[in-house]
A and B are shown apart, each in its own frame.
Chain A
Amino acid sequence: MKISFLLNGRQFETEVSPTIRLSDILKANSKITSVRTSCMKGECKSCSVIINGEVVPSCMVPAFSVRGSDIVTLEGFSKTKDYNDIIQAFEETGASPCDFCRGGTILTIQSILERFAEPDEPQILDAFNGNICPCTNIGLIIESVKRAALYRKRKRIGRK
């Protein structure tokens, strides 16, 4: 089956079995290194991507369902201003997710910041529910999310 979609702003086309998971299509692409797979149950978030503006686990998405979609991976997201807020927060708190779960962690944070202007601990933990990579201290991630939310709030106020 031939499928095509927008991948990080560029048209992407490939010939695959229609039920193959999107995570496997992305992993086979040498330009995408942020998408990893572990649980294959939509829990661990290592394979998170943004599809049509929503963060989803790409292991839960079959190829046939992404035709014509707009897909953004960490590689694409890292070129946005929103990315810088999160990285700045990481630097200040010392949170450093490993390369394995980094993509999923950053995109999950982005999804929290899109939903909540001032996310609290339970809201953050709900979003990270199932993100089970033990490399990073979740306390630092919570702190990073709160800081990144603060930077965005300041920017919004600055714009007004």
Chain B
Amino acid sequence: MEGNSLGRNIYAPKSLNELLHLREQHPDTILWSGGTALLRMQKDPVPFFERDIIHLSGVNELKKVRRTERYLEIGAGVPVKKIINVGQHILPFALAQALMSIGSPAVRNLATIGGNLGFRDGRLNSFSVLMLMDSIVELRMSGKSRWVQLGRLNSISATEVLTRIRIPFRNWDLQYFRAIGDPLLHPMDSLSFTVLAETNKGIISNLRFAVGNIGKSTLRSIDFETYLSGKKLRLSGRELETAVNIFQSFVQNIEGDLTPFQKDRSIRFVRWFLRELRDVYIFTE
């Protein structure tokens, strides 16, 4: 542990057990993984933090990537660049796109997946993709661990630490991700779109769609997804219009989270996407 001139302490645990023990003793600490989002928000010449810091880079258990037949498991402290380097044959295409949209390669050397998911002030690029993929995260505290759906990450308690992300392999033969703008600096303009779908002989069997990077929430319209499931590709003109209308009324009724400009962009995107939708292995522009 090191003190500093501002009276804050920096803890540098060397193992997961030590980290969990520290977290239990000091629940009100900042968990410092890559620190890129935390430092981007800082304006002071010498960054100032109101709470003590636990620096995670010495915890090797958080830096492992494991692959089984059923899932890909990534430690929360794995840098984004290292995940991208896992390779396009293993990493789902949409997730790779989401990770590539985080900063520049130099920033991706520092930023970690855990930091991207665990950022308190808003949902960043990888969240909606991982959520749609039914990813689960391991939350650990001293002597206890539990796996929860990523969408329930908010239930994390003060003494728990996000340690692993498990991404099940599914046959998403239609994947798309696109982000516009910077969710950290311009949350009123930024947006991300994620689409995942399974198809069988040209029929959509399971479609998931999320609008992200809009502050703390991620939007999904179950009506929209349900309507499209079971439809044959390409969509007929009437089906397309109905789907767009369902999405449009969903978006128009949302209050607070989306600006009119963001709403318009989402609707334009949906219309364009559905029109271009074909039975293809991976959807690219």
- Interface residues, chain A, with chain B CB atoms under 8 Å away: 1, 17-21, 24, 40-43, 45, 48, 54-57, 59-62, 64-65, 108, 111-112, 115, 126-131
Interface residues on B, range: 20 to 34
B181 within 8 A of A: no
Known: A17-B46, A24-B45, A62-B47. 11 other contacts (CB 8 A): A19-B4, A42-B36, A42-B103, A43-B103, A55-B106, A57-B106, A60-B107, A61-B110, A111-B106, A112-B105, A127-B104
Q: Do the beta carbons of A65 and B57 come within 8 Å of each other?
A: yes
Q: Do the beta carbons of A62 and B2 come within 8 Å of each other?
A: no
B12 within 8 A of A: yes
Report A87 CB to chain B, min CB distance, Å. Answer: 21
Q: Do the beta carbons of B39 and A59 come within 8 Å of each other?
A: yes
Task: Give bound CA distance, A140 to B60, whole Å.
Answer: 42
B48 within 8 A of A: yes
Report B87 CB to chain A, min CB distance, Å. Answer: 13
Report B51 CB to chain A, min CB distance, Å. Answer: 12
Report B50 CB to chain A, min CB distance, Å. Answer: 12
Q: Do the beta carbons of A126 and B53 come within 8 Å of each other?
A: no
Q: Do the beta carbons of B36 and A54 come within 8 Å of each other?
A: no
Q: Do the beta carbons of B57 and A130 come within 8 Å of each other?
A: no
B14 within 8 A of A: no
7 pairs across A/B with beta carbons < 8 Å?
Answer: A1-B4, A17-B5, A18-B4, A43-B103, A60-B39, A111-B106, A130-B103
Task: Give bound CA distance, A24 to B39, whole Å.
Answer: 14
Known A48-B106, A55-B106, A111-B106; judge A60-B10 contact (CB<8 A): no
Question: What are the residues of chain A within 8 A of B32 when measuring CB–CB?
Answer: 62, 65
Contact among B6, B45, B55, B107 for A42, CB-based, below 8 A: B107
Report A98 CB to chain B, min CB distance, Å. Answer: 19
Task: Give bound CA distance, A130 to B106, whole Å.
Answer: 11
Q: Chain A interface mostly helix, strand, loop or mixed?
A: mixed
B8 within 8 A of A: yes
Q: Do the beta carbons of A126 and B3 come within 8 Å of each other?
A: no
Known A17-B6, A18-B4, A65-B55; judge A115-B105 contact (CB<8 A): yes
Task: Give bound CA distance, A121 to B3, whole Å.
Answer: 46
B35 within 8 A of A: yes
B window 35-79: CB within 8 A of A: 35-36, 39-40, 42, 45-49, 53, 55, 57
Q: Do the beta carbons of A130 and B104 come within 8 Å of each other?
A: yes
Most buried by A among B10, B36, B40, B106: B106
Known A18-B4, A42-B36; judge A60-B110 contact (CB<8 A): yes
Known A45-B104, A62-B35, A111-B106; judge A19-B46 contact (CB<8 A): yes
Closest B residue to A54 using CB positions: B109
Q: Do the beta carbons of B46 and A60 come within 8 Å of each other?
A: no
Question: What are the residues of chain A within 8 A of B45 when measuring CB–CB?
Answer: 24
Interface 1/0 per residue, B172-198 and A, CB below 8 Å? 000000000000010000000000000
Task: Give bound CA distance, A82 to B2, whole Å.
Answer: 38
Closest A residue to B6 using CB positions: A17
